[in-house]
């Protein structure tokens, strides 16, 4: 702990000496990009809208709501501008009050106060174990509205999470604008349990089930989520990086014929081939717009320790960046989530490393060249 504090102090002092003391000091120190004009990125320069989503009620570990700030503090927005994109940061969706309502209700009940006016979260409808239904549903409805608004402004929507339950809202919002949307879900987990198959009751493990058309006959209809329009066809969905899939989820994937590449597939074929196959599966004509939902736990736990459900044997950071660079090269990514960064888990160094990994993944998705970004002109003396 002392060594981490010492390193943090040294970095802050260095930042002050170099003028990088505006809240993004750590990432600016790691950056080698001068403030000059660069050539175009791997794809044409984009109009990008960034939104932060401090959702944490989809799981049970506090701290993930700090993910948007941790990622922003790496300097990722400035780095995207250096790539050549035109960026608007819309701030954070105002969902914290919706989530805190549950905390107040819990305290009232625990202290002998009035009973909650909502259905008890641990016993939804008397038989379902689904937690914080109202809070997660209300938050996702706002997330959906924000996502579609950003995209209708003509921008690629970049969502910084927050837990992965936010994917219900971002996919719903993106599919309002692009009804033929394809989805790439990059995760250690398939997140396709239904309210009837979940063992944990955590909605971040059910996100995908809400938007897949063919799965709806098996979904319990939760009134709070009645606004969701399940527009995504099973054939237009693909997973990459799976290595922790529940038996019921495996049955759903096989029943619906959903494309799902595990880490064994990555080991066998390599990340480039797996990405090519996934892109081909969700859009054979190579025209379908793509939503990318990237859970940081798709990376190996040895790389990203500040996340809620780490699993050994995941993607390397290089594989994760390569995957996203290939998606970028299609020119069809219309929206992206980067979720499950939790800076309260692990050490300060772990949190910094996890946030930095998120930054590099985002840059890969938006066309940053690892070979270097060339200046448009070389200055003369």
Burial of 17 (0-12, 13-18, 19+ CB in 10 A): exposed
pLDDT of res. 5: 53
Q: Which residue has tokens 């943090």?
A: 8
Give the span between the Cα atoms of 294 and 336, in whole angstroms: 7
- Phi and psi dihedrals of 184, rounded to 5? -105, 115
Q: Which residues contact 161 (CB under 8 A, 6 or more apart)?
A: 53, 55, 64, 67, 68, 337, 338, 339, 340, 341
SS3 227: coil
pLDDT of res. 372: 87
SS3 3: helix
SS3 258: coil
Q: What is the pTM of this model?
A: 0.84
- Nearest Cα neighbor of 203 from 128, 118, 293 is 128
Q: How many degrees, rounded to 5, is the angle at CA 34 between CA 31 and CA 36?
A: 140
Residue 207 CA from chain centroid, whole number: 12
Q: Which residues contact 69 (CB under 8 A, 6 or more apart)?
A: 52
* Cis status of the peptide bond prior to 162, with omega within 30 of 0: yes
**DSSP element (H, E) containing 81:** helix 76-83
SS3 159: strand
Residue-averaged pLDDT of the chain: 86
Q: Which residues contact 374 (CB under 8 A, 6 or more apart)?
A: 38, 39
Q: Which residue has tokens 């969700």?
A: 282
- The percentage of residues in the chain with a pLDDT greater than 90, rounded to a whole number, is 77
pLDDT in tens, 199-213: 999 999 999 999 999
Give the span between the Cα atoms of 366 and 44, in whole angstroms: 10
Facing residues of 161 across strands?
53
pLDDT of res. 139: 97
CATH code, residues 41-90+136-365: 3.40.800.10
pLDDT of res. 103: 53
**DSSP element (H, E) containing 242:** strand 237-242
What single-letter DSSP state applies at residue 308? S
Dig out the tokens for 326 from the structure: 């290939």
- What are the structural domain ranges in the chain? 41-90+136-365
Give the span between the Cα atoms of 193 and 209, in whole angstroms: 6
- Nearest Cα neighbor of 200 from 208, 211, 191 is 191
- Characterize 334-359 residue by residue with b for buried, 16 or more Cβ atoms within 10 angstroms of its Cβ, and e for exposed: bbbbbbbbbbebbeeebbbbbbbbbb
| pLDDT under 70: residue ranges of the chain | 1-43, 101-128
pLDDT of res. 29: 29
pLDDT of res. 100: 73
Please count the CA atoms within 13 angstroms of the CA of 127 that sit on its side-chain side: 3
Facing residues of 51 across strands?
159
**DSSP element (H, E) containing 7:** helix 2-18
């Amino acid at each position: 702990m002392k060594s981490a504090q010492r390193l943090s102090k040294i970095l802050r002092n260095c930042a002050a000496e170099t003028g990088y003391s505006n809240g993004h000091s750590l990432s600016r120190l790691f950056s080698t990009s001068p403030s000059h004009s660069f050539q175009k990125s791997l794809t044409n320069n984009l109009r990008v809208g960034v939104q932060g989503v401090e959702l944490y009620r989809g799981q049970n570990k506090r701290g993930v709501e700090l993910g948007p700030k941790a990622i922003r503090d790496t300097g990722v927005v400035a780095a995207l501008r250096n790539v050549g994109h035109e960026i608007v940061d819309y701030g954070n969706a105002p969902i914290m009050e919706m989530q805190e309502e549950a905390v107040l209700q819990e305290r009232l009940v625990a202290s002998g106060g009035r009973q909650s006016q909502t259905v008890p979260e641990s016993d939804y409808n008397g038989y379902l174990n689904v937690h914080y239904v109202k809070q997660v549903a209300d938050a996702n409805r706002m997330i959906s509205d924000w996502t579609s608004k950003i995209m209708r402004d003509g921008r690629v929507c970049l969502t910084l999470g927050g837990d992965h339950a936010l994917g219900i809202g971002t996919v719903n919002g993106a599919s309002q604008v692009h009804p033929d949307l394809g989805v790439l879900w990059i995760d250690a987990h398939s997140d396709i349990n239904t309210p009837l198959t979940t063992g944990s009751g955590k909605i971040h493990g059910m996100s995908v089930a809400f938007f897949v058309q063919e799965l709806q006959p098996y979904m319990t209809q939760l009134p709070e989520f009645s606004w969701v329009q399940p527009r995504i066809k099973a054939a237009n969905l693909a997973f990459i990086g799976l290595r922790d899939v529940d038996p019921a989820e495996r049955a759903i994937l096989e029943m619906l014929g959903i494309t799902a590449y595990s880490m064994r597939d990555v080991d066998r074929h390599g990340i480039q081939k797996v990405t090519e196959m996934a892109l081909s599966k969700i859009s054979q004509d190579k025209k379908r717009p793509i939503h990318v939902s990237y859970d940081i736990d798709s990376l190996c736990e040895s790389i990203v320790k500040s996340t809620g459900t780490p699993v050994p044997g995941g993607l390397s950071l290089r594989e994760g960046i390569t995957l996203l660079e290939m998606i970028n090269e299609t020119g069809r990514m219309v929206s992206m989530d980067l979720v499950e960064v939790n800076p309260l888990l692990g050490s300060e160094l772990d949190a910094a490393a996890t946030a930095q990994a998120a930054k590099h993944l985002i840059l890969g998705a938006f066309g940053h060249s690892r070979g270097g970004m060339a200046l448009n002109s070389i200055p003369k003396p």
